[in-house]
């Protein structure tokens, strides 16, 4: 079965759901996906960055860094088997910036826990 082609927004959403489900990453609030063109990989994207909610500094920062790196690697490995990033039709158009209307409510789920949200459907658009 082939990979589904999804928008950047949908892929960021799926990555966020996967990462937040892992121990120590419950306070991750955003994930950024970058397009890449590297023939060594079987996909056209990578997880470039993530953002955690601001919290008090403590001695757990090294543990959080380790769990964050592991979470990125785990989520990226799983999602690379399922999804490719949709090429932009015309970079900068509303279609590439705005999520599809049937998914617009999903991004609002992250205001609370984010664990109830589902990744994008397999099968593409």
Give residue 54's pLDDT. Answer: 67
Q: How many domains does the chain have?
A: 1
Let me know if residue 64 belongs to a domain: yes
Q: Considering only CA atoms, which of 6, 9, 8 is closest in space to residue 106?
A: 9
Query: What pTM was computed for the model?
Result: 0.65
Q: Please tell me the total number of residues recorded for the chain in this structure.
A: 125
Structural domain of 58 = 4-111
C-beta separation of 49 from 63 below 8 A: no
Rounded to the nearest 5°, which phi and psi values hold at 28?
-70, 130
Let me know if residue 121 belongs to a domain: no
Let me know if residue 84 belongs to a domain: yes
Let me know if residue 10 belongs to a domain: yes
Give residue 21's pLDDT. Answer: 92
Let me know if residue 119 belongs to a domain: no
Give residue 81's pLDDT. Answer: 92
Average confidence (pLDDT) per 10 residues, the chain, 125 residues: 91 94 86 88 86 64 80 93 87 48 38 45 53
Let me know if residue 123 belongs to a domain: no
């Amino acid at each position: 079965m082939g990979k589904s082609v999804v928008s950047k927004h949908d892929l960021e959403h799926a990555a966020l759901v996967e990462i937040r489900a892992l121990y120590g990453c419950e306070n991750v609030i955003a994930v950024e996906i970058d397009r890449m063109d590297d023939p060594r990989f079987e996909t056209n994207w990578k997880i470039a960055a993530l953002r955690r909610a601001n919290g008090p500094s403590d001695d757990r920062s090294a543990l959080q860094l380790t769990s964050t790196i592991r979470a990125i690697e785990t989520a990226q490995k799983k999602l690379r088997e399922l999804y490719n990033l949709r090429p932009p039709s015309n970079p900068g158009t509303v279609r590439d910036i705005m999520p599809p209307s049937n998914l617009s409510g999903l991004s609002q789920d992250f205001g609370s826990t984010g664990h109830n949200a589902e990744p994008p459907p397999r099968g593409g658009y």
